[in-house]
Structure 1
């Protein structure tokens, strides 16, 4: 684009922007904008917009000179000048200006003003103010002020108020009400809404957005004073406490002594009588009852504590406290339990309510709450023995607790008061005793005698999940409408199969009807971030880069870089895995809608990402028949996905070679190579202090990708690392919580041990740091193809020791899937866990939680085999491993149920020691269980 300068009568020449000096008339003949500065009346500026070569510019001069000044200020992003420039304009001039403001808005939305980005935002701010002042109708003004493409972080409410001038109070109230219903506008534009309300004299109906904006606006060191000064404080506070989601400012942690501490401020107003105490208490209790994340309940809980409900207020809400004690998050449940215990001590808690509360609390997993509840029931029964018939059935809820010490407490409590119950209740209690651990079987028999049901030594049967079946990937969509629905509705970034189907469908439809797809994309995504010229400066950022390529929005130099850039020697493996996806997307963005890319070779045929060999052969045949050369990155990913160990691979290799094309011969050779890519894993010795950020593991993991000249030399640069291009050194990785973990699993569906090796550094951050989410690929990895070597067992060991419970659960699922497929070497997994626990990388309490979760599915034998292989490396330690008692408790439970009898080395010495710590108690329990076991033997591999 070029700029032209004219000097006669403000005319412009050239294909861009012309500036001329004349008599106040601007004439544009190019595709850009003409600005003329003249000596006419008022020496005003003329602005013209041309529609193409030879097109006339739209200019307003003379009488409309104020419009030109307004538009010039908007184009320069001078929002502060807009109100003054609007003031002298009449309705006709504002209408004329509005038409050009809409054109400018479209230009900004199309990205013509995106460089520099700061200018685009300044123009949006000026447009926001100017449009508000030019629109006469309330509905249109509300639509303009609520538009997401115009609002920025710097949007100035007072400027908009000034631009609106002295509009009618009813008009201002109507506008405020409409904007208050738009949450994003109400939150960020509170000053505007408050100004409209003050100007109209009407109260804006409280909405979630308006109240949240109000809270943010007045939260400062004068919080109490500002609450006192606002006459609407009672209504707004009541709305805030009644909101479905606690306002975000209320969830922040602020020290109680701070002047910005909302609970203290509200307590002050309650004491003064500004706020109604009964209403605030009722709203807080109601909010606690609705539940939700603990951080959202922190404010109403703290407020309730500060209000210090009296005995009468507590009694009136007994059903509420019972419900909270049973179902609320731990902090709320603990408070409710304390309230009910206080009522029980005063004799004000009905037995029926205590029984309901007991059943609910004993179902929980928090040991502190469970033990406190058993103690509460014991105190009540000591005072009221006649309540045993109502309370003891509720106590038996603890018979199924994971902690055998809790089971023991509950059994002893039942035993102390069993004589006080009727025979029918006694039989009911005996029936539930079947939930007790086998270690308590003898005590239960002594207590209940013949009434105890169930054989003492029932045959054990291992329960594993059914072997998962491969799920075929559906065909790509065949209509543009279905494709647009897929792009809008489905969460493609989280589902690699949906992502691949959408990408293939987009490529196929664009090949058949590029014009139709382009029109549909523009209509479906009229204003999106990926259409900005400044996007895609780093990674490909998903399907958006392909859509941008389809619309012709990408710079060719950037496309060429994206297609050819490899991964540096210092890249982590997650960057390398993401790089494979990125290069495919840049390649598709470059070729989409052309004859060079009619479809994708790499689209999976199975949900794991794998491709059936015959299917890939047929795709290559279609390329040959169409005279199309396969796209390099697409072909490389297809080779990595083809299932080389599939029974059909041999025949497919022959057919591929018969195609007579380079791609066919390459596929044939690849299918005949059993270990086309591979890697090994080692750990450096501990020789220095651990990193304060990453800990030991990530500093010591060495993944050595085997040297494969074919991959390094014939695949695109982004795939070179799979041929050994990355040096075998420890690689720091920070992709546990970002990146595309779900997509990584489908890059290497035929080589899962290599994939597992690449995942190890990210998993290390989930074991020894605060990262989360790196286990997402594990389920797909367990269902994929390829050998199960050390790397797969290491990712399982890491996963079972992750900080996050969801990460551990995914690792448990993967372990059980491998066990059900007969591919889990349980003893190898136990051996890896032994050294990880011994050096402190995997915490025993996390491992115990994961092992208990796996065992509770019925896989007691599998879990015991893993733990039996792990314990000999830990039990003989001179200094006991902290937390190992929890692991021994799970091991004992497994043995009691599966009947194993092989005693790990070091167990007898530990169990024979003195003391009553959990470690010693559980060691004795495990030893006793092993010595009472049956002669059943467990398979090395489940």
Structure 2
């Protein structure tokens, strides 16, 4: 029989392969039915080769015709369960599979244990493998194996159940007919993501599914107690909001009795403490009803309150305080247990919550012992300053000697200037620095130090440097590509891409002709705000790459002394002297960058360095001497320009240019672009530099000490943080705050946009910048507040986002700084409020006023805030009105009091 099988296998294999290619399913099934295991194994190599052949062109007619039959034949010809499962779930097989009926037919003659093994292997595949449920369930039925309850199987079952609606039957009918419903329903409670799958099939809430389960529970098909316990366990476990939503709706649909609710008190308390807001709210309502009916002791209610009052959701906290008020009225003897719990709300960030809690304490504090009163009074320090003053009498704070200390502003320490370390001493150290920069980027100091190291070691021993760099760059796309491949030249000819152009040049992957062209005739881009600093930055990199392979330089002249990008004049003279000693020629772009970086504000040091430079007797020394003899000009004047919902800056007049006196004609053309004025009309949101934003962090070092000029060019990008919900550009703000130079209109306007950014991480970056400027004494709070007020009025900044930013800044201890900002920002917003309160104020204005009131209370400021009465006199008790009244009470408080 073995010899006969070996003789007959090739003809059967040829016939099978032809039938598979033609897509003749019935013929393939017939051939497979007559094969032995050995014959099937003999056919498998040819089927694998066909699979490889079809894989590159899976969408052509031959592939579409053959794939379903290939799917079935390959599964049947595998004799191992693992191989069959791998074949069935291959990524290239998913788009055109054989039907489950065909697969069950060709696999159904195997042993039951083998079929069960395949079923479980398929069920353990991720849901993305798209294994048909009919196939898995059919294999389970044929094998009689235990039911798999994996995510893939449960998801498939749910989708199969829900898909029956097209035939007219209901979900409940199909669940009732399935013998495995009880087991799979239980498994669904432990399957993360089931709620999202049900929402996708039924719509938000999956009401049809919930109704079907509750109906089967009433009929007795499903065990009610088991479903209640499963719901509670799933809600305690948490998970995606859609899961919680479905389980909560099912729990409500089961309508637990009072006795069942009492059995799960511990569960309700845990849910009220830690569950998502909607689930916690339901648990809170259940516990509240039990408490008012006598089902909870005062101690249990106090324990529940300790957890709920700690939550950030105001609605839950307020509801809990309402519940505590009802419980205290119902049983006044419970005050000793409940009032310390009420006092937990004294530390809530919302002063409305604090006031509600204080009112409860004031109402019931007279009925407790001195010991309980002292326990409540110990929490009074958490109250806002205004409420704490109000609590002094009822809680006896004055007698206890717990008066608050005078306010002290807490600002972070001002950043100290960081001096650059010397260039790496060995090629191995340079390679380490390069690897770190390529992997995760770096700051100005790391970039400049590494670039200088590359230049120095290419001069000393290029071969040794290349050998050391090889592991660091081995995975770059250009590393092992044919050097004649023109895409490399084009890639680095359009932009240097940071240090990569120097590295590619050292490895000979960029032709010298391409580098020479980039240096002599750099690519011209459209006129945009970024073109000045970008082209100056790129010119120096192209030059360094070109010189590294044609005329190596002993060192870079423009490497800064300080991390801010500033170069000390005496150090630059010493480098020029080294060039003179070695007879080397300085790079034109390198020298131009050095001149822009050299410090000129210390006239004594500049004059001494100028004398030394003139004594060198070289053209570069004379040029430096002339440059140091002139002082840096003042910043050009600008005016504000409103464009849509953006406020930008533009030159004050056509005859005024930022380049006057800044960039003489002797500088290379790429550097003279820095002196051109930035017009609003040139500020395009998407330009060629948009995709190279990582370079922007280095632009501040192109013009160190002139951050206003750089900020003006980046202002359009920063405005998009608030107006277009762009993410990430605010990372520049802390660096801008730490840079040298005047912090004028552009810096403050960019900071204002950052404080109103859409994304929290960008707002945190702006808060850091605000605190750094304040710590350095460079924050103009009046200017920033005026900018914020204008941006809120024109719709660029949303008050709620701004409130979150300034609240975060104030919470660090900078209450006086934040007050100085918001006291200027608020009056223009109050002024726009109508007197009768008919028009709704901007959403979030009440939150912003709350921050202002908190700052005023903590700092003890007094005085008048223009137009505050417009908010105070509005009808109702909205957040805006209550906080405005609180602010006015604070500002009007008699100092003697």
Residue 728 (structure 1) aligned to one of 671, 675, 681: 681
CA distance in 1, matches of 2:61, 2:768: 48
Q: 2:591 aligns with which of 655, 663, 668?
A: 668
Specify the alignment match of 2:756 in structure 1.
Answer: 801
Asked whether the 8 Å contact 1:465–1:820 carries over to 2, the reply is yes
2:851 corresponds to 1:890: yes
Question: How far does the alpha carbon of each residue in 1:799-842 deviate from its partner, in whole angstroms, 9 at most, with x for none?
Answer: 33344545434433443344334443332221110111223332
Determine the structure 2 residue equivalent to 1:274: 221
Q: How far did 1:327 drift?
A: 2.2
How far off its partner does 1:724 sit? 8.7
- Aligned mate of 1:135, from 72, 78, 101: 78
1:346 is the counterpart of 2:293: yes
Whether the 8 Å contact between 1:860 and 1:897 is mirrored in structure 2 is: yes
Residues 681-738 of structure 1: CA deviation (Å, up to 9, x unaligned): 987546xxxxxxxxx536x76889988999999779xx99998999835645699xxx
1:414 CA displacement: 0.8
The secondary structure found in structure 2 opposite 1:672 is: helix
> Who is 1:646 aligned against?
566
The TM-score with structure 1 as length reference comes to 0.69
Which secondary structure state, in structure 2, belongs to the residue aligned with residue 459 of structure 1? coil
Does residue 239 (structure 1) correspond to residue 187 (structure 2)? The answer is yes
Once the 2 structures are TM-superposed, how far is the Cα of residue 395 of structure 1 from its aligned partner?
Answer: 0.3
What's the counterpart of residue 328 of structure 2? 381
Q: Could you list the per-position Cα deviations for residues 135-178 of structure 1 after superposition, in whole angstroms to 9, with x for gaps in the alignment?
A: 22223333444555x45444456365566463322212111212
- Distance between the aligned counterparts of 2:596 and 2:152, measured in 1? 61
* CA separation of 1:594 and 1:283: change in aligned 2, threshold 3 A: farther
Which residue does 1:364 correspond to in 2?
Answer: 311
Contact map agreement 1:895 1:933 (CA 8 A) in 2: no
Residue 361 of structure 1 and its aligned partner are, at CA, apart by 1.8
Match of 2:522 in 1: none
* CA apart distance, 1:380: 0.9
Query: Offset of 1:389 from its aligned partner?
Result: 0.6
Q: Secondary structure at the match of 1:285?
A: helix
Alignment-derived partner of residue 123 in structure 2: 180
Q: 1:734 and 1:595, CA in 2 relative to 1: closer, same or farther beyond 3 A?
A: closer
Equivalent residue runs for 1:520-539 within 5 Å: none
2:824 is matched with 869
Cα deviation for residue 104 of structure 1 reads 6.8
1:846: how far off?
2.8
Contact 1:146/1:185 (CA < 8 Å) preserved in 2?
Answer: no
State how 1:265-344 maps to structure 2 within 5 Å.
265-344=212-291
Match of 2:176 in 1: 228
2:799 & 2:179 partners in 1: Cα distance?
57
Q: In the alignment, what sits opposite 1:422?
A: 369
Which moves more between the two structures, 166-175 or 750-759?
750-759
The alpha-carbon distance between structure 1 residues 787 and 133, as it changes in their structure 2 partners (threshold 3 A), is farther
| Number of the residue aligned with 2:10 | 64
User: 1:213: which partner in 2?
Assistant: 156
Whether 2:575 is the aligned partner of 1:655: answer yes
Alignment of 1:576-615 (within 5 A): 594=508
Gaps of 5+ in 1: 1-59, 522-545, 566-579, 601-609, 687-695, 936-942
Q: Secondary structure at the match of 1:379?
A: helix
Unmatched 5+ residue regions in structure 2?
Answer: 1-5, 454-461, 516-532, 598-631, 652-656, 836-840
For 1:169, which of 95, 106, 112 is the aligned residue? 112
Q: Secondary structure at the match of 1:261?
A: helix
Aligned residue for 2:820, secondary structure, equals helix
3-state DSSP class of the match of 1:275?
A: coil
Q: Aligned residues, how many?
A: 789
- CA gap 1:909/1:212 in 2 versus in 1, 3 angstroms: closer
1:386 Cα deviation from its structure 2 partner: 0.8
Q: CA deviation at 1:771?
A: 6.0
Q: 1:654 to 1:455 in 2, by over 3 A?
A: same
**Contact 2:833 2:871 (8 Å CA) reproduced:** no
**CA–CA distance in 1 between the matches of 2:465 and 2:52?**
26
Q: Is the 8 A contact 1:82 1:163 kept in 2?
A: no
Structure 1 residue 864, shift from structure 2 partner? 0.6
Bigger Cα displacement from structure 2, 659-668 vs 507-516? 507-516
Quote how far apart the aligned CAs of 1:618 are.
13
Once residues 568 and 40 of structure 2 are traced to their aligned partners in structure 1, the CA distance between those partners, rounded to angstroms, is: 73
CA distance in 2, matches of 1:588, 1:103: 45
The alignment partner of 1:248 has SS state of helix
CA contact (8 A) 2:642 2:648 kept: no
Paired with 1:621 and 1:732, the residues of 2 have a C-alpha distance of: 30
| Kept after mapping to 1: 8 A contact 2:588/2:668 | no
Is residue 848–residue 886 contact of structure 1 (8 Å, CA) maintained in 2?
yes
What displacement does 1:899 show?
Answer: 2.7
C-alpha deviation, 1:241, in angstroms: 0.7
CA root-mean-square deviation? 5.6
For 1:845, the equivalent position in structure 2 comes to 800
Residue of structure 1 in register with 2:527 after alignment: none
Q: Is the 8 A contact 2:199 2:205 kept in 1?
A: no
Inter-CA distance 619–342: structure 2 relative to 1 (3 Å threshold): same
CA distance in 1, matches of 2:503, 2:52: 25
Taking structure 1 as reference, are residues 142 and 455 closer, same or farther at Cα in structure 2, changes over 3 Å only? Answer: same
Match of 1:190 in 2: 133
For the Cα contact (< 8 Å) 1:361–1:373, is it kept in 2?
yes
> Does the 8 Å contact 2:171/2:212 carry over to 1?
yes
Paired residue secondary structure (2:179): coil
Q: 1:224 to 1:803 in 2, by over 3 A?
A: farther
Give yes or no for the alignment of 1:859 onto 2:814: yes
Q: CA deviation at 1:798?
A: 2.6
Change (3 A) 1:624 1:849: closer
Counterparts of 1:341-490 in structure 2 under 5 Å? 341-450=288-397, 453=400, 456=403, 458-467=405-414
CA distance in structure 1 between the aligned counterparts of 2:563 and 2:263, rounded to whole angstroms: 67
| Partner-residue secondary structure (3-state), 1:458 | coil
The answer to whether the Cα contact below 8 Å between 1:270 and 1:276 also exists between their aligned partners in 2 is yes
Partner of 2:521: none
Mean CA deviation greater in 367-376 or 459-468: 459-468
Q: Cα–Cα, structure 1 residues 348 and 835, in superposed 2: closer, same or farther, change >3 Å?
A: same
Deviations 1:64-119 (A, max 9, x none): 3554576678889999997677667665665455445556777889xxx3798999
Question: For 1:284-320, what per-residue CA distance to the aligned partner results, in whole angstroms no more than 9, with x for missing partners?
Answer: 1112112344344111111111111110111111122
Larger relative helix fraction: 2
TM-score by length of 2: 0.72
Post-superposition Cα deviations, 1:608-653, rounded to whole Å, max 9, x if no partner, equal xx9xx9xx999999986765889xxxx9xx9999967334577358
Matches within 5 A, 1:104-115: 113=56
Give the match's secondary structure for 1:334: helix
Partner-residue secondary structure (3-state), 1:874: helix
User: Does 297-306 or 270-279 show the bigger shift?
Assistant: 270-279
Distance 1:67 1:771 in 2: 60
**TM alignment of 1:626-637, pairs within 5 A:** 627=550
Larger Rg: 2
* Partner residue, 1:816: 771
Is 1:900 aligned with 2:846? Answer: no
Aligned ranges 1:14-53 → 2 under 5 Å:
none
In 2, distance between residues paired with 1:641 and 1:311? Answer: 76
**What secondary structure, in the 3-state scheme, does the structure 2 residue paired with 1:842 have?**
coil
Asked if the contact 1:744–1:777 (Cα under 8 Å) also holds between the matched residues in 2, the reply is no
- Conservation of the 8 A alpha-carbon contact between 1:650 and 1:672: no
Q: Which moved more, 1:308-317 or 1:210-219?
A: 210-219
Does residue 929 (structure 1) correspond to residue 852 (structure 2)? The answer is no
2-structure distance, mates of 1:743, 1:377: 54
Q: Distance in 1 between matches of 2:712 and 2:23?
A: 52
